[in-house]
Amino acid sequence: MLHLGEKVVILADRFEQHLPIGEYGYIIAHDRNADNAFDYVIRVPKANRNFFVPASDVEQEDLLLQQEADRIEREALIDYALATRNESLFRRIMNGDTAEEEEEQVQEALSQEEFVRQVNLRAWI
């Protein structure tokens, strides 16, 4: 739940009430009525109006800025990996950091099983 006075950005207009999408606003009230589809009342200074909006139509500005910074950083790392022909960096970025660690653990487990199988085969001979 967003707090009063928090700066938000309008992302969508689910109820088609002509919200200024992409503009920022401030939360001025919570609507706690369970029968109402709207969660917040926001004040949009550029439109000089108040709007009733559901929670899915707005998002915190700080969170959006952080997501955009992460996306730009990822794109820059991909460009660098392609420019330097660094395949391991490219794969780590595209698959995520945890995917590589999981693959190594699976390969280790498989190699131990194969080792035990080979020892058992030689023990029977």
pLDDT at 121: 74
Q: What is the mean pLDDT of residues 16-24?
A: 92
pTM score of the predicted model: 0.63
- Mean pLDDT on 16-45: 91
pLDDT given for residue 114 in this prediction: 80
- Among 11-15, 57-61, 117-121, name the one with the lowest average pLDDT: 117-121
Domain range 7-60, CATH architecture: Roll (2.30)
Neighbours of 106 (CB within 10 A): 10
- From the list 36, 33, 27, the residue with the least C-alpha distance to 1 is 27
Of 29-33, 53-57, 121-125, the range with the lowest mean pLDDT is 121-125
The pLDDT value given to residue 107: 57
Domain ranges of the chain: 7-60, 63-124
Structure tokens at 37: 């589809």
Query: If you average pLDDT over every residue of the chain, what do you get?
Result: 85
pLDDT at 74 (0 to 100): 93
Helix axes 61-84, 87-95, angle to 10 degrees: 150
**What is the rounded distance in angstroms from the CA atom of residue 11 to the CA atom of residue 34?**
23
Please state at what angle helix 97-124 crosses helix 87-95, rounded to 10 degrees: 100
Tell whether the model's pLDDT for residue 117 goes beyond 60: yes
